Amino acid sequence: MKYVLLFVQTEQFERDFEAMSQPERDHAYELVYKWFADHADKIRGGNKLKEPNTATTVRLDRGAKPVITDGPFVEGKEVVSGYSEIEVADFDEALRMVREWPGCPIVEIRPIEA
């Protein structure tokens, strides 16, 4: 089955990350790279996204002019910071992968419509 993992950042996580020393930060990155390497056989694609302040949201209402707003579609303390598409045997395998994720504190697992 295919799933998309949506990686979600929190303000707290951002602050903690900024408060780290350079070696600590390097180590955190290493863990993330290692996770991607360990699961390379299951990862089909994905990207890290630029900062949420670069996002633009367009709301399309039938008949009305599109409304364009600055920022992500949900204004909040939690924002999507990246995504990966994975292909695994079943949900439990996806869950197992995500449990080991060393980065941001929230990951949403969404099955892809086949």
Which residue stretch of 22-30, 38-46, 70-78, 90-98 sits at the interface with other proteins (rule: CB under 8 A)?
A: 90-98
Pairs from 35-43 (Cβ < 8 Å, separation ≥ 24) = 35/100, 35/101, 35/102, 35/103, 38/100, 39/86, 39/97, 42/86, 42/87, 42/88, 42/93, 42/97, 43/84, 43/85, 43/86
Among 34, 44, 59, 96, binds other proteins (CB under 8 A): 96
Using CB under 8 A as the binding criterion, the count of chain residues that bind other proteins stands at 11
By the rule CB under 8 A, 111 interacts with other proteins: yes
- Quick one: 14 or 93, whose CB is closer to other proteins? 93
Q: Give the per-residue contact string, 36-75, with other proteins (x = CB under 8 A; - = no).
A: ----------------------------------------
CA neighbor of 2 nearest in space, from 103, 102, 84:
84
